[in-house]
């Protein structure tokens, strides 16, 4: 979904079908169309301050004055100017001086128009503040980290109406695409392989939409040679994903190497997943000790497939061992398995599953807590403001 509403102003009849088609390809919401700039100023008077993209057609040099009026009437709002300039580059420059944020010379070329749209979407469509990165990591293989990461991300998107990207940081072989029945064309492996050239457009191209507000960046679909990357390269990729979403959830495989710990420490919140088994609890303790007490507030311990009857491994017992009270997620083999087999998040497969209660409590705890970087819940109008609104609305 294109992040800005679009208003067309003075687009000629010949051009209209091309523009409309490209906007439809971008799933952009075409808010309204006006034949003239005064018409737009008049029609949008009541909601002048809303952020939206204007597309204006400059057919002749005299139209540049209209463009200037449009810019003056909607200060701070982006304008894409479609300019009939022929060989006359002065008109292009004049359109720029009159306030066009992007200029697309005519005759119309889809690629150029698309690039201009994407650029404006990134510049104006995504608020740059208050993004969150949540790293989810199992502490021993198979304890359910990927399952929790998928459903955590989906619940954030679905219940809190926040755009969420789930990135699978598997460098050799991923399962995310299989779990969600998708065929990735570009994987995280491809993005990290070209990390010196990596930009936000490349990340955008690699996103696979799973549901409204929920996109994934899948790990390599088939087993391939492992990639050697630095933490800085991975963190750069995460930063680019952050530009495109409200929340980024990372599925981080437990490798216990420097890269692993550096990724965890760079996140805003870390969800450590374990199960009621000695090796898993030992590994949980090791990871917590290595992360150190200064990162304690950003951590959540989750015991997956929890069974309160397992002697010596109740939440009270584990609290004594780990120095932190773990949250629990129920064991529901039938529902979780069905969700994987049908390639969809649990909410869409088995909304009554008890697993979702644990995941939703985790989401609330992660998103609702005071931020370890110093921002209290509800303290701002943006991210936490929207969360507070979402909680009130329930």
Q: Which is nearer to ligand ATP, 301 or 336 (CB)?
A: 336
The residue count of the chain comes to 394
146 binds Mg ion (CB under 5 A): yes
Residue 45 C-alpha from the chain's centroid: 33
Q: Which is nearer to Mg ion, 4 or 272 (CB)?
A: 272
Candidate residues 94, 217, 301, 355; the one interacting with ligand ATP per rule CB under 6 A: 355
DSSP codes of every residue in 276-340: SSHHHHHHHHHHHHHH-GGGGGGEEEEEEEE-TTSTT-SHHHHHHHHSSPPEEEE--HHHHHHHH
Candidate residues 332, 344, 367, 371; the one interacting with ligand ATP per rule CB under 6 A: 332
Q: Which is nearer to Mg ion, 145 or 329 (CB)?
A: 145
Q: Which is nearer to ligand ATP, 152 or 206 (CB)?
A: 152
344 binds ligand ATP (CB under 6 A): no
Q: How far is the CB of 10 from Mg ion (least distance, A)?
A: 53
323, interface contact from ligand ATP, Mg ion, none, CB < 5-8 Å by kind: none
Q: Which is nearer to ligand ATP, 168 or 215 (CB)?
A: 168
Q: How far is the CB of 42 from Mg ion (least distance, A)?
A: 56
The bridge status of strand 208-211 relative to strand 214-217 is antiparallel
**DSSP bridge pairs for 79:** 54
Contact 179, 340 (CB under 8 A): yes
In this chain, which stretch among 49-57, 138-146, 155-163, 199-207 interacts with Mg ion, using CB under 5 A?
138-146
208, interface contact from ligand ATP, Mg ion, none, CB < 5-8 Å by kind: none
Q: How far is the CB of 151 from ligand ATP (least distance, A)?
A: 9
Query: Measured between alpha carbons, how far is residue 201 from residues 120, 168, 269, 290 in Å?
Result: 12, 18, 26, 36
Does 107 sit behind a cis peptide bond, omega within 30 degrees of 0 on the bond before it?
yes
Least Cα distance to 329 among 296, 285, 362, 280 occurs for 362
Residue nearest Mg ion by beta-carbon distance = 146
User: 138 in helix, strand or coil?
Assistant: strand
Candidate residues 105, 121, 144, 345; the one interacting with ligand ATP per rule CB under 6 A: 144
308, interface contact from ligand ATP, Mg ion, none, CB < 5-8 Å by kind: none
Q: Which is nearer to ligand ATP, 147 or 213 (CB)?
A: 147
In this chain, which stretch among 64-72, 140-148, 282-290, 309-317 interacts with ligand ATP, using CB under 6 A?
140-148
Rounded Cα gap, residues 126 and 104, in angstroms = 22
Rounded Cα gap, residues 182 and 8, in angstroms = 35
329 binds ligand ATP (CB under 6 A): yes
In the region spanning residues 47 to 86, those forming contacts with ligand ATP, defined by CB under 6 A, are none
Rounded Cα gap, residues 269 and 282, in angstroms = 21
Helical residues (DSSP H) of 33-144, grouped into ranges: 37-43, 64-73, 89-97, 110-124
Q: Which residues bind ligand ATP (CB under 6 A)?
A: 138, 141-147, 253, 304-305, 329, 331-333, 336-337, 340, 355
């Amino acid at each position: 979904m294109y992040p800005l509403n679009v208003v067309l102003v003075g687009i000629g009849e010949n051009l209209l079908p091309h523009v409309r088609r490209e906007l439809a390809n971008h799933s952009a919401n075409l808010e309204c169309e006006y034949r003239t700039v005064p018409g737009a100023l008049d029609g949008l008077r009541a909601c002048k301050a809303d952020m939206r993209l204007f597309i204006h057609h400059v057919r002749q040099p005299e139209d540049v004055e209209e463009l200037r009026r449009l810019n003056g009437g909607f200060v701070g709002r982006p304008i894409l100017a479609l300019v009939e300039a022929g060989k006359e580059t002065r008109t292009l420059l004049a359109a720029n001086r009159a306030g066009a944020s992007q200029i697309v010379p005519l005759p119309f070329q889809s690629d150029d128009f698309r690039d201009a749209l994407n650029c404006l979407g990134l510049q104006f469509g995504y608020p740059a503040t208050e993004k969150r990165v949540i790293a989810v990591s199992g502490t021993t293989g198979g304890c359910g980290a990927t399952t929790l990461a998928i459903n955590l991300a989906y619940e954030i998107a679905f219940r809190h109406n926040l755009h969420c990207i789930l990135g699978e940081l598997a460098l050799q072989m991923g399962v995310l695409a299989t779990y969600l029945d998708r065929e990735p064309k570009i994987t995280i492996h491809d993005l990290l392989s070209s990390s010196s050239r990596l930009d936000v457009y490349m990340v955008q191209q690699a996103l696979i939409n799973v549901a409204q507000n929920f996109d994934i960046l899948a790990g390599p679909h088939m087993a391939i040679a492992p990639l050697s990357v630095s933490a800085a390269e991975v963190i750069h990729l995460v930063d680019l994903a952050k530009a495109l979403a409200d929340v980024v959830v990372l599925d981080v495989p437990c490798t216990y190497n420097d890269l692993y710990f550096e990724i965890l420490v760079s996140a805003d919140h870390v969800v450590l997943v374990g199960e009621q088994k000695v090796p898993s609890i030992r590994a949980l303790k090791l990871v917590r000790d290595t992360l150190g007490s200064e990162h304690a507030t950003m951590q959540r311990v989750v015991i997956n497939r929890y069974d309160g009857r397992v002697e010596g491994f109740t939440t009270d017992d584990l609290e004594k061992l780990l120095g932190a009270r773990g949250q629990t997620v129920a064991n529901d083999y039938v529902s979780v398995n069905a969700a994987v087999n049908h390639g969809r998040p649990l909410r869409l497969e088995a909304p009554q599953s008890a697993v979702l209660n644990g995941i939703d409590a985790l989401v609330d705890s992660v998103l609702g807590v005071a931020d370890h970087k110093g921002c209290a819940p509800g303290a701002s109008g943006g991210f936490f403001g929207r969360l507070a609104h979402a909680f009130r609305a329930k």
